[in-house]
Amino acid sequence: MTLGARVLKTGLAISLSLYICRLLGLQPEVLAPVAAVIVMQPSLYGTWRHVWQQIQANTVGAVIAFLASQFIGNDLFSIGIVAVLVIAFCLKFKMGETIGLTLVTVLIIMEAPGDDIQFAVNRFSIILVGIISSLLVNVAIAPPNVRKMYEEKVKDVFASMSLLLRTAISDEMTELAFRHKRQNFDQGLLKCSEMYHVYHEEQRRMARIKHVDARQTVIYKHMLKALNKGANILEAIDGHYFQSRRDEHFAKTIHEYLDQLIRYHEYILLKVDGKAKQTRIYAKQTAESNERFMKQLLQEANQLDPHHIHLVLIGSAVYEYGLQLVRLDRLVEHQLKKRKGQPKRRRRPVTRSWKD
């Protein structure tokens, strides 16, 4: 088991929040680590955005909770009504992620005896200490590199996908092992999608204050699309291959071409990583092979037994996978050539006037 940076930073944020509470004499100090754990985010931009939303939502929640405790009391029904109002506020202003911690703030303030505003301020301050501690740790210590994390996750998911695709038609893996691998692949693909959206949102926001490489975002989008096309093949195999009679020759044609595309996909990922030579020939060859495969697929489909016609759906999914890989390869090749051919900025020569 390996401990990632986020796990270690969460532990550090807990320790820092406890230390600050003890330093300032804030009690009960255990509330600060709860806030720190909730606020910790996997991206730098996500941390800033989440912290700002948490501060806004918790401030409003604290004010509503204190006023409610003064005017309508802090009985069980009053607390429930205030909780509903706070949830409605968070949802109205699209701050759903803050609901959990904001409700904690409401509950700990509404349990204040009488009209003691100092009690409410003390509890709210403890929550703020936890939020700020999480922000400081995430910004100052090993800020998360979403780009690197995304690329690594794509490689892991591709490794799972390639194993599943290579063994799906040949039926070499036991059903239990295949189901377990498939479940891990689906979870990894979902995580990839979440990480891409975090990266895309971060780049979109950062574009307002600095130059960002929009082409890289497009490449990452197509990397995710390629994995989704592979997932579509698995769905087609699962839904049609084992439910129909098998044509060994037709299945062999699909299996061999699919194996070729998997190797091509692996080559593209190596190219993205800078470990493979740049060339456009593979994209051209695969585009031609893809067209030949589709023509062969249509020709053989006319000769297939009606019980085997479902295999055409699998072949169609493989064809779509090939198209997506060609698009991805061309995008990567264009991006790499642009970087390589980008001239270095030269200093403008200083020209002196004859008057000097």
Residue 242, pLDDT score: 63
164 and 203 fall within a common domain: yes
d(CA 226, CA 219): 10
DSSP state of 308: G
Is residue 141's pLDDT more than 50? yes
Give the C-alpha distances (Å, rounded to integers) separating 27 from 10, 12, 117, 126, 133: 21, 20, 15, 8, 16
Query: Which range among 128-142, 165-179, 271-285 shows the weakest confidence by mean pLDDT?
Result: 165-179
Q: Is residue 257 packed enough to be buried (19+ CB in 10 Å), middle (13-18) or exposed (0-12)?
A: buried
The mean pLDDT of 122-147, rounded to a whole number, is 86
pTM for this prediction? 0.71
182 and 55 fall within a common domain: no
105 and 162 fall within a common domain: no
279 and 302 fall within a common domain: yes
167 and 293 fall within a common domain: yes
17 and 104 fall within a common domain: yes
The CATH number of the domain holding residue 158 is 1.20.58.220
- With CA atoms as reference, report the closest residue to 104 among 88, 82, 89: 82
- Kindly state the percentage of the chain with pLDDT values over 90: 37
* Domain-ending residue, one of 117, 140, 163: 140
Top pLDDT among 187 and 40 is at: 187
Top pLDDT among 153 and 279 is at: 153
Residue 18, pLDDT score: 94
81 and 42 fall within a common domain: yes
Is residue 349's pLDDT more than 50? no
225 and 298 fall within a common domain: yes
Residue 257 belongs to what domain range?
Answer: 146-339
* Domain-ending residue, one of 140, 172, 200: 140
Number of domains in the chain: 2
Q: Which pLDDT tens digit goes with each residue over 319-341?
A: 999 999 999 999 999 888 877 66
212 and 314 fall within a common domain: yes
61 and 105 fall within a common domain: yes
| Confidence band, pLDDT 50/70/90 cuts, at residue 347 | very low
Question: DSSP string covering 71-94, please?
Answer: HT-SSHHHHHHHHHHHHHHHHHTT
154 and 292 fall within a common domain: yes
Fill in the amino acid letter for 336: L
d(CA 280, CA 334): 9
Is residue 42's pLDDT more than 90? no
d(CA 269, CA 264): 9
Q: Which pLDDT tens digit goes with each residue over 2-21?
A: 566 778 888 999 999 999 99
